Amino acid sequence: GGVTTIDPGYKNTGSCESAITFLDGEKGILRYRGYSIEELAEKADFLEVAFLLIFGELPNKAQLDKFHDDIKKNSIVDEDVHKILDAFPKSAHPMGVLSSLTSALTAFNPSCVNVDSEEDMYQSVVRLLGKFPVLVAWTMRKKSGLPLDYGDKNLGYVENILKMMFKEPNEEYTQSKILVNALDKLLILHADHEQNCSTSTVRIVGSSHAGLFASISAGISALWGPLHGGANQAVLEMLEGIKADGGDTKKYMAKAKDKEDPFRLMGFGHRVYKNFDPRAKIIKVAADEVLGDLGVEDPILDIAKGLEKEALEDPYFVDRKLYPNVDFYSGIIYRGMGIPTDMFTVMFALGRLPGWIAQWREMRLKKEPIGRPRQLYVGETLRGFKPLEER
């Protein structure tokens, strides 16, 4: 039989049982495996959180060291992947490049497609966690024309990412504790968010038993859109636009409320959070701290704060329960850290990677069936074929 009801955008459809992330949109609660996002952002580092999300418990020292070692051992990317990267124009958007390179990993690691055991899964996971930051860094270096760089095995996971991104040729790279802490925090805040668009994509692609890398590549494409992860780039471009236009936030508020105008206030609103986004609260404080620590004064931060204040007092936003989301202030921090605007969504992908992996692994371990929604057909009923010359 056919279906009788539909739920566009799956606003009220649960697709799975999951033990990974708890989210209460009314109360603004977000927990990974039972730990509050506030506590994790304050006390944990990103690799610990990745382990927690994927395997369900915080690692002890030995477990974390082994995990990190396995990741490092698997961080070499085949030299031929350079050739694929080289074929892209410099103007290519980094998200398109990253999704292509991630997809290409399947070709270079064919043994990772079949995951018949937990050990097979583990091999795919550590390979991806090892190689993905390399692809992220290469994507950024390609754009800026810098020679590609491998990291340093003696560095922490996040330290190494920063080095791979920023090391200049012929220069000693000195680690900045401020940047490491800021990136750790941002990546943790983005690490999982239950069944959002990209995560549902990863699960549904993975449910056909396509391998992990193909599933993640699809998730990256889903994340790219401006209604999802692409919002962090769109927010900064919007704030820049407002600044260039004389800083008149009221004009943009009016545009956002005008139903004839497609403009939306980027970084505002959320499918699930209807009182506040707990990640946005942490990031707003972090933006002040990090920019202060780095000695960066960014007029964009003032525009963002002004816009937030106006929106929070405006009946249009109040009635629709629209609050700043995780993407509203994150770009300001990334920019302060020296990361180019079109790399912001790539940074989101880097943070979301452990969540995607955890959800894919959970789905495979539970042997979930192939994802295959139904529809309500509203097209033509049966009609006869007309030859071309009679149409």
Residues making contact with ligand CMC (CB under 6 A):
9, 196, 227-229, 231, 256, 264-271, 320, 322, 325-327
**Would you say 144 and 248 are in contact if contact means Cβ atoms under 8 Å apart?**
no
- Closest contact distance (angstroms) between CB of 266 and ligand CMC is 5
- How many alpha carbons lie under 13 Å from residue 124 in its C-beta half-sphere? 32
CB of 11 to ligand CMC, least distance (A): 7
Nearer to ligand CMC, 9 or 169 (CB): 9
Rounded CA Rg of the chain:
22
Q: Is 246 left (phi over 0), alpha (psi -120 to 50) or beta?
A: left
Contacts of 275 (CB under 8 A, 6+ apart): 25, 26, 27, 28, 321, 323
The residue (of 138 and 268) whose beta carbon lies closer to ligand CMC is: 268
Determine the residue with CB nearest ligand CMC.
269
DSSP 337: T
Pick between residue 70 and residue 194 the one whose CB is nearest to ligand CMC. 194
To ligand CMC, the closest distance from the beta carbon of 204 in angstroms equals 17
Q: State the DSSP H helix or E strand holding residue 23, giving kind and residue range, or none if neither.
A: strand 21-24
Nearer to ligand CMC, 211 or 269 (CB): 269
Please answer whether residues 177 and 289 qualify as being in contact, where contact means their C-beta atoms are separated by less than 8 angstroms. no
Residues 34 and 23 sit within 8 Å (Cβ to Cβ) = no
Q: How does DSSP classify residue 82?
A: H
Min CB(216)–ligand CMC separation in Å: 16
User: Residue 93 or residue 228: which is nearer to ligand CMC going by CB?
Assistant: 228
Judged by DSSP in three states, 264 sits in coil
C-alpha pair distances (Å), 125 with each of 1, 76, 223, 356, 370: 40, 14, 20, 11, 21
Minimum separation from the CB atom of position 341 to ligand CMC (A): 15
Which residues are known catalytic residues? 270, 327
